Structure 1
Amino acid sequence: MRKSRRVIRVIKVILDVGWYFNIVLATIAGSMLFYEFAFNTYADWNTTVHIPQYDFSEKIDLNTDEVKDVILRTSTATLGLKIKNTLLVKSSSIFLLFAIECLIFSIIYHLRKLFSSLHKGVPFTFENVITLKRIAFFIALILPVQIILYLFELQILNANFSKPIKFSVDPVLNFEVLLIAIIFYIVAEIFNSGLELKKENEGFV
């Protein structure tokens, strides 16, 4: 029991540190974004794109005859450019930063709240059930934010490059977050069952 309380306390301390560390990161990110928009007409932008497969085999020189038929092909590349800080770029960037930081703060806040309750030795409460479900909800929202980011990148490519340029961008979607959200929701239901059992036991006493 003492060991589990120690583990909970360590996690709680880590979450507290993460909370204040993220405040610093959010402040730095916001300041950098403000500086970029206030003093620069163009901003650096990089993304990974798919390109027509290119064979580099003819350019590879071999020092020995111990290997042969070397094949080196590429189908991805890093697209780097400077994008003008238009109203759309500014508003989209601010929205994405705000959305990402809101999710991070919300998840850490509710995790801190949960582990504070667990550290006090009162796991099966209605408030903890609600907290767990909110954590699941905020984690699941990461996927829609990633989709919005993908649409933003897609809009930049489609609006600024002619059709003969043959490259495309794939969305970076972490479907693992849905699994994590489902796990938290299941844990919330387990806590809810524990709460109901606790109420029944108290009713018998």
Structure 2
Amino acid sequence: MKTISWLLKTIRILLTVVWYINIVLIVIAFSMLTFKFITSDSVEFSNPVKYSQKPNVVKLESLTPNAYNIVIQRDQGTLKMDLRKSPGYIAAAYFFLISLEVLAMTIIYQLRKFFDSIQERAPFKYDNIRRLHITALCFVLLTPLHILLGISTAITLKEHVKDFNLMNLVWTESFTGLILGAVIYIMADIFKYGFELQKENGEFV
């Protein structure tokens, strides 16, 4: 029991620390982005890409007879360019920054409240079910937001980069948000079941 109490206290402290660190990072990121847009006529744009053409190959020597045909394929790099700022790019930058931070802060806030109630030994209540549902929804929304960012990036590169059709964007989406959202939603249903049982027992008594 003491171990569980210590673990819950540690989680609450970590969530509180992450909450305040994230607030500081939001202020810094928003200030730097605004400063960049005000003081410069262009913004730096970069994204990892893969080349569709035959990659350069570097052969490496093996130290043992158990490994052979060791090569490095230079088929990936980072595409960088300076974009003249426009209302569209400015709006997109603020949209993705604000959307990501709103989802992140909502997740942290709801988890803080959830673990506070667990520490107070009141886990099975309607507020916790609602908090878990909101947290699950926010995790799920991270995936389409990331997909939308990829589409926006592809449109930008296709519009400005010649022979972009010879390249492919490096896609890093792992659908972790969907998986975490599904797991947390199942947890919410478990807490809902516990809440209903607790309510029925109370009415019976």
TM-score under structure 1 length normalisation: 0.90
Q: Does 1:114 find its partner at 2:114?
A: yes
Match of 1:82 in 2: 82
Change (3 A) 1:44 1:88: same
Match of 2:42 in 1: 42
Q: Secondary structure at the match of 2:185?
A: helix
Match of 1:136 in 2: 136
Q: Percent identity?
A: 28
Match of 2:195 in 1: 195
Question: Is contact 1:53–1:73 with CA below 8 Å preserved after alignment?
Answer: no
Report how far residue 84 of structure 1 moved.
1.5
Instruction: Give the RMSD, CA atoms, in angstroms.
Output: 2.1
Report how far residue 176 of structure 1 moved.
1.6
Question: Is contact 2:158–2:164 with CA below 8 Å preserved after alignment?
Answer: no
Report how far residue 162 of structure 1 moved.
2.6
Q: Secondary structure at the match of 1:100?
A: helix
Question: Is contact 1:53–1:74 with CA below 8 Å preserved after alignment?
Answer: no
TM-score under structure 2 length normalisation: 0.90
Q: Secondary structure at the match of 1:140?
A: helix
Please list every run of 5 or more consecutive structure 2 residues that lacks an aligned counterpart in the other structure. none
Letter in 2 for 1:73: Q
Superposed counterparts of 1:104-183, under 5 Å: 104-163=104-163, 166-183=166-183
Q: Does 1:56 find its partner at 2:40?
A: no
Change (3 A) 1:33 1:129: same
**Counterparts of 1:141 and 1:61, CA distance in 2:** 43
Please list every run of 5 or more consecutive structure 1 residues that lacks an aligned counterpart in the other structure. none
Report how far residue 172 of structure 1 moved.
2.8
Letter in 2 for 1:44: E
Report how far residue 156 of structure 1 moved.
1.1
Question: Is contact 1:42–1:83 with CA below 8 Å preserved after alignment?
Answer: yes
Q: Secondary structure at the match of 1:141?
A: helix
| Alignment coverage as a number of residue pairs | 201
**Counterparts of 2:79 and 2:49, CA distance in 1:** 6
Q: Secondary structure at the match of 1:56?
A: strand
